[in-house]
Amino acid sequence: QVQLVESGGGVVQPGRSLRLSCAASGFTFSSYSMHWVRQAPGKGLEWVSVISNDGNNEYYADSVKGRFTISRDNSKNTLFLQMNSLRPEDTAVYYCGREYFDSVDYWGQGTLVTVSS
Amino acid sequence: DIVMTQSPDSLAVSLGERATLSCKSSQNLLYSSNNKNYLAWYQQKPGQPPKLLFYWASTRESGVPDRFSGSGSGTDFTLTISSLQAEDVAVYYCQQYYNTPYTFGQGTKLEIK
């Protein structure tokens, strides 16, 4: 069955960096575009980024453009989100998700990132 | 960016009654070349990731009960639950994927009256 498992979250000081990973299994990872979506505590969903199945195309929310980089390693079935220059407003649960007809059909359980001094 | 606005912010409905949730986009989501509306609906229960309910505005995801229906086109969309069940208590989000950034609505919290 399809599984997505995020890791790499934690507490980090403002201005520092963090790299999230999403390990995928149960499907042909290299055939699917992948997304990151975040949710601040008690708030709604915010789309963060998407990467094409081959890694050649990537798009970002305005709020993270220039600070976050999405990437993937199809040989290891893993999606990444490199987060630099972190701000307190980046505090959220970060979900990875598999694209399905441009929506997201499978989601991980999320990993919490807390940006605080 | 396309702005998605959901209404109401919260809704209380009696068990067995109909629930109607609205989602409006600031731009047309109907892609003329394939006649598809680039809109999805998700359900999120506390402590869980979102669950896809509908894509292309009205195509029900596998396993979603048929008491749920999605409708609308262009800029106005509706999620309807024909007979509310206790397990339907959740926050419901619409999302457009017509253009990046793929924006979500703010959500509608559905409760039992």
Give the confidence band of B58 by pLDDT, cuts at 50, 70, 90. Answer: very high
pLDDT tens, residue by residue, B59-93: 999 999 999 999 999 999 999 999 999 999 999 99
Output the tens digit of pLDDT for each of chain A's 117 residues.
999 999 999 999 999 999 999 999 999 999 999 999 999 999 999 999 999 999 999 999 999 999 999 999 999 999 999 999 999 999 999 999 999 988 999 999 999 999 999
- Token pair, residue A79, equals 């999606």
- A residues 21-80 near B, CB within 8 Å? 35, 37, 44-47, 50, 59-62
Strand pairing category for A10-12 and A111-115 = parallel
pLDDT at residue B1, rounded to an integer:
95
Q: What letter would DSSP give residue B103?
A: P
The answer to whether the CB of B101 falls within 8 A of the CB of A60 is: yes
pLDDT at residue B40, rounded to an integer:
98
CA B97 to chain centre: 13
Q: Taking CA A61 as the corner, what is the angle to CA B76 and CA B1, rounded to the nearest 5 degrees?
A: 40
Q: Flag whether residue B105 sits within 8 Å of chain A, measured between CB atoms.
A: yes
